[in-house]
Amino acid sequence: MTHPRSRAYLLCPPTYFEVNYRINPWMDPTTPVDTELAGKQWQRLRETLAELGHTIHELPPAPDLPDMVYAANGGFVLDGIAYGARFRHPQRAAEADHHLRWYEQQGWRTHQPAEVNEGEGDFAWTGEVILAGYGFRTDPAAHREVQEVFGRPVLSLQLVDPRFYHLDTALAVLREGDAAQLAYYPGAFSPGSQRVLHRLFPNAVVADEVDAAAFGLNLVSDGERVVLNAEASGMAAKLAAAGYQPMPVELSELKKGGGSVKCCILELRR
Ligand code: ARG
């Protein structure tokens, strides 16, 4: 097992978080959201990452962009290049510029995308290849664009269950490298994509529907410690059995927007 290494993450506080539109099946604008509690839970997530030795950067939140807390969707950053997002839904479109401006200010090379994509929501790095989801948000044309931008192989995977509309709700990289280990829920993928995953990642930790519905795959791993939604106790047990150290965090409020741990965290890779 590789040693944990310190990572750099970008997070955005849920200052203006609410659920006042519905762009995924989890969102119900009639269910009240406790924004203060969301803030406390997010703070705890942030502290957990800091306690693990990771570097946290903060993206200033903007009013009228309630989903901005899901920072993972604002870009995909690898090899020092920040590939920007282009959101599927107009409600989130303005988030993209906030992200790109931040990367520019921080001295990252940026790439303004031509194609619709929701950043790390649909792109995952295994250390060798970029896994890329399509079917609900990111356009397959963005997969080809990302391959050209990074010069890294992109493997397209089709998502078929609307509850798992982003790749990061259905799949996670637990350990990077040539023997990368994934966790995923097969039912979220088309039959062909399931076979691809099975062939290429035979050592994966396979999640079931209960794990996925508890946002158990929306996790962040440093190769050893795995931060995941506290509700996903079954997933935590599977991860522990596979040799990882689960670190549960309570994110009940942000789940009302259809996201959890991973959605809130964008990794900045030099
Ligand atoms: N309400 C947000 C949306 O539907 C949630 C995004 C969750 N983020 C994620 N990386 N899966 O766009």
Question: Per-residue pLDDT tens for 227-262?
Answer: 999 999 999 999 999 999 999 999 999 999 999 999
Per the annotation, the verdict on 263 as an active-site residue is yes
For residue 200, give the amino acid letter.
Answer: L
Residue 263 lies in a domain: yes
Q: Buried b / exposed e across 132-151, counting CB within 10 Å, b at 16+?
A: bbbbbbbbbebbebbbebbe
Residue 258 lies in a domain: yes
pLDDT of 4:
54
Question: How does the average pLDDT of the chain come out, rounded?
Answer: 97
User: Among residues 57, 55, 52, which one has the least CA distance to residue 74?
Assistant: 57
How many Å apart are CA 3 and CA 98, to the nearest integer?
34
Ligand 1 atom closest to the CA of 118, numbered from 1: 10
Cα of 227 from ligand 1 centre, angstroms? 18
pLDDT classification of 152: cutoffs 50, 70, 90: very high
Residue 2 lies in a domain: no
Domain count for the chain? 1
Query: Greatest CA span in the chain, whole angstroms?
Result: 46
Q: Active-site residue among 12, 54, 99, 263?
A: 263
CB atoms inside a 10 Å sphere around CB 26: 19
Residue 39 lies in a domain: yes
Ligand 1 atom closest to the CA of 27, numbered from 1: 1
pLDDT of 5:
75
Residue 164 lies in a domain: yes
Q: Interface pTM (ipTM) of the complex? A: 0.97
Residue 1 lies in a domain: no
Ligand 1 atom closest to the CA of 137, numbered from 1: 12
- How much is the average pLDDT of 148-166? 98
Q: What SS3 class is residue 187?
A: helix
What does DSSP assign to residue 217? T
169 lines ligand 1 (CB under 6 A): yes
Cα of 259 from ligand 1 centre, angstroms? 5
Its domain, for residue 164, covers 8-267
Q: What SS3 class is residue 268?
A: coil
- How much is the average pLDDT of 62-75? 98
Q: Buried b / exposed e across 36-59, counting CB within 10 Å, b at 16+?
A: eebbebbeebbebbeebebeeeeb
Residue 3 lies in a domain: no
- How much is the average pLDDT of 47-55? 97
- CATH number for the domain that contains residue 190: 3.75.10.10
How many Å apart are CA 63 and CA 186, to the nearest integer?
37
Per the annotation, the verdict on 166 as an active-site residue is yes
For every residue of 56-100, DSSP letters joined together read EEEPPP-TT-GGGG-GGGGEEEETTEEEEPB-SSGGGTTHHHHHH
168 lines ligand 1 (CB under 6 A): yes
Statement: residue 2 has pLDDT above 90 = no
pLDDT classification of 158: cutoffs 50, 70, 90: very high
Q: Buried b / exposed e across 156-171, counting CB within 10 Å, b at 16+?
A: bbbbebebbbbbbbbb
Cα of 88 from ligand 1 centre, angstroms? 11
Cα of 140 from ligand 1 centre, angstroms? 18
Pocket mutation for ligand 1, best pick of 17, 73, 86 (most atoms within 8 Å of C-beta): 73
Question: Per-residue pLDDT tens for 187-204?
Answer: 999 999 999 999 999 999
Residue 56 lies in a domain: yes
pLDDT of 1:
39
